[in-house]
Copies of this chain bind each other. A is one copy, B any other.
Amino acid sequence: MARSHFNRFCFLALIIIAINLGLNTVESVWPLPQKVAVSGERYRLDPAGLDLRYGGGDQDQDCVVLDAAFRRYYPLIFPDWVSGKPRLKIPKKGNTFSLVVTMDRGDCDGYPTAGSSERYQLNVSAGQALLHSETVWGALRGLETFSQLVYQDDYGTYFVNKTEIEDFPRFQYRGILLDTSRHYLPVKAILKTLDAMAYSKFNVFHWHIVDDPSFPYQSRTFPDLSSKGAYHPMSHIYTQSDVRRVIAHARLRGIRVVPEFDSPGHTQSWGKGQPNLLTPCYNGGTPSGTFGPINPASTLSYRFMRRFFEEVTSVFPDSYFHLGGDEVDFSCWKSNPDIRVFMQKMGFGQDYTKLESFYMENIVNITSAFNKTSIVWQDVFDYHERIPKDTVLHIWKGLPASYEVELSRITKAGHRVLLGAPWYINHIAYGQDWRLSYNVHPQNFSGTEEQKKLVIGGEVSMWGEYVDATNLSPRLWPRACAAAERLWSDENQTISANKALPRLQELRCRLLRRGVQAEPLKPGHCRNEYQGI
């Protein structure tokens, strides 16, 4: 298909026209595409006459990801039509409209990766929309955009306007973290979150699957980890098939699943099913009965971690693997005589950060041996001198310095970074706190252009202290969408939260229509209110 070229001035003018046409006639796309030109010319869509189909040769006709997307987007495009369940009829002559998808590469059997192109072009004109992308993942993004372009007038007639879009994400990594340890989240809640993520073009599900309070991952190799470490050994676990289901569901939406098995701290629940893994804490000369982080002085620890990571690195196909490494408390290590002997033997003196580095270095090496790129929390940067250069540092601290200072400091050392700190969305405040998320500028820090390029993206974290399936959706949506736009769209076009608000309200109503329990942004209403009471 022909690539569109836009004169920048003309393009901005068209944007303004599109916005002025008003939200009643043109629904707005969220996150804002890089280049969009919407004309006042519009076409009626007959739900019986919409044909979502493959372009190109025969080899393109066999893509399970796109097949599934066609089935999924049909009811998303025509929600009233489907919920009303009228009989499908033969469209009247001339009522057909085709959305034709062509892809440069028809590779539909793999998983989305860090390097996957999500670029697409969408050209809507009379009788057809041409969607072109490099990969099937780009086609998914374009389908989502197309679904957001379709709107209804007051009489319920569906329309789409003449539109030209060229689009691609600003950052490759646009993630959401769910914490399934502090509270168990039913698989269904995770799947629903993945659905909603795709509506805002998020592409990474960071699964903080285990932590101190519980170990819901059911390991093939070490089944005691969940049978003893989960809140309940049957009802509060993720079986192998649950995990496969999550990964498959995410794949069909172009979403990567990056698991986190945080260590050596945050591992209290591991100790229940794996004796001799954690460090016994001492009270004076005797064990106190409590345990600290994983014992870094014992070869058993590394043997266990190697076997366990051999399993989990194969269960989770993504090439990224989150190792944690945050908030290690040294007091238990300090109390333990075996650890103290080991410190002496290794020549670490009294510097326990060296012990922590020693542990993390071993873990990173194990992970590398399984061909994974490690992500670690920024703490590791602070105490570790020899982090492999391909390790991604996950910034979660805004204090003592601001996250901008952290970005500057860590990219200066040549590391790639993932920005989490300003998007701890479990923290809530009264009112429109999505504005705080929207006003984050991930590359607005002191550093060279090379440093800025080391920001691979960002992540919205929903820590689980006060969150479970009862309140996950309304806390996450639409608040997380603010970060979604910041991570996808051109910053210069999306600088104003005030200007974004009407589009965000549109998006929120769209989420309700799609069954997502998205909370309100300000007084008002949606035509289709939430019905799932």
Leading 10 A-B pairs by shortest Cβ distance: A471-B474, A231-B525, A182-B523, A471-B519, A213-B523, A470-B530, A470-B517, A188-B533, A470-B519, A427-B430
Give every chain B residue within 8 A of A182 (Cβ-Cβ).
Answer: 523
Give every chain B residue within 8 A of A232 (Cβ-Cβ).
Answer: 525, 527
Q: List chain A positions with a Cβ less than 8 A from chain B.
A: 182-184, 186, 188-189, 192, 213-214, 231-232, 235-236, 426-432, 464-471, 473-474, 512, 517-525, 527, 529-533
9 further contact pairs, Cβ within 8 A, besides A235-B529, A429-B430, A464-B523? A183-B524, A214-B525, A427-B430, A428-B429, A470-B473, A470-B474, A470-B517, A471-B520, A532-B532
A532, B183: Cα distance in complex, Å? 16
A467, B184: Cα distance in complex, Å? 25
A188, B532: Cα distance in complex, Å? 10
A460, B431: Cα distance in complex, Å? 18
Give every chain B residue within 8 A of A235 (Cβ-Cβ).
Answer: 527, 529
A235: min CB distance to chain B, Å = 8
A519, B183: Cα distance in complex, Å? 11
Which listed residue (B473, B517, B519) contacts A466, Cβ 8 A?
B519
A456, B186: Cα distance in complex, Å? 44
A206, B429: Cα distance in complex, Å? 25
Give every chain B residue within 8 A of A427 (Cβ-Cβ).
Answer: 430
B429 touches A529 (CB 8 A): no
Give every chain B residue within 8 A of A231 (Cβ-Cβ).
Answer: 524-525
Give every chain B residue within 8 A of A214 (Cβ-Cβ).
Answer: 525
Give every chain B residue within 8 A of A520 (Cβ-Cβ).
Answer: 183, 466-468, 470-471
Which listed residue (B464, B527, B533) contacts A469, Cβ 8 A?
B533
A465, B531: Cα distance in complex, Å? 19
B523 touches A465 (CB 8 A): yes
Chain B's closest residue to A192 (CB) is B533
A520, B184: Cα distance in complex, Å? 11
A525, B233: Cα distance in complex, Å? 13
Chain B's closest residue to A521 (CB) is B466
A183, B520: Cα distance in complex, Å? 9
A512, B471: Cα distance in complex, Å? 12
A305: min CB distance to chain B, Å = 25
How many copies of this chain sit in the oligomeric assembly? 2
A213 touches B469 (CB 8 A): no
A137: min CB distance to chain B, Å = 27
A340, B188: Cα distance in complex, Å? 63
A184, B526: Cα distance in complex, Å? 10
A519 touches B429 (CB 8 A): no
A522 touches B465 (CB 8 A): yes
Chain B's closest residue to A232 (CB) is B525
A177: min CB distance to chain B, Å = 16
A466 touches B522 (CB 8 A): yes
Give every chain B residue within 8 A of A428 (Cβ-Cβ).
Answer: 428-430
A428, B471: Cα distance in complex, Å? 13
A464, B519: Cα distance in complex, Å? 11
A469 touches B530 (CB 8 A): yes
A501: min CB distance to chain B, Å = 13
A505: min CB distance to chain B, Å = 13
A232, B527: Cα distance in complex, Å? 8
A448, B182: Cα distance in complex, Å? 48
A206: min CB distance to chain B, Å = 19
A294: min CB distance to chain B, Å = 20
A529 touches B468 (CB 8 A): yes
Which has the most chain B C-beta neighbours within 10 Å: A188, A189, A427, A517?
A517
A473, B189: Cα distance in complex, Å? 17
Give every chain B residue within 8 A of A426 (Cβ-Cβ).
Answer: 430
A426, B519: Cα distance in complex, Å? 13
Give every chain B residue within 8 A of A431 (Cβ-Cβ).
Answer: 465-466
A532, B470: Cα distance in complex, Å? 8
Chain B's closest residue to A211 (CB) is B523
B533 touches A468 (CB 8 A): no
A186, B471: Cα distance in complex, Å? 19
A474, B183: Cα distance in complex, Å? 15
A184, B512: Cα distance in complex, Å? 14
A423, B431: Cα distance in complex, Å? 17
A518, B188: Cα distance in complex, Å? 18
Give every chain B residue within 8 A of A532 (Cβ-Cβ).
Answer: 532
Given contacts A471-B471, A520-B183, are A430 and B466 in contact (CB under 8 A)? Answer: yes
Give every chain B residue within 8 A of A473 (Cβ-Cβ).
Answer: 470
A214, B231: Cα distance in complex, Å? 46
Which listed residue (B430, B470, B517) contacts A512, Cβ 8 A?
B470
Give every chain B residue within 8 A of A468 (Cβ-Cβ).
Answer: 519-520, 529-530
A430, B429: Cα distance in complex, Å? 7
A380, B208: Cα distance in complex, Å? 53
A529 touches B466 (CB 8 A): no
A318: min CB distance to chain B, Å = 25
Give every chain B residue within 8 A of A531 (Cβ-Cβ).
Answer: 186
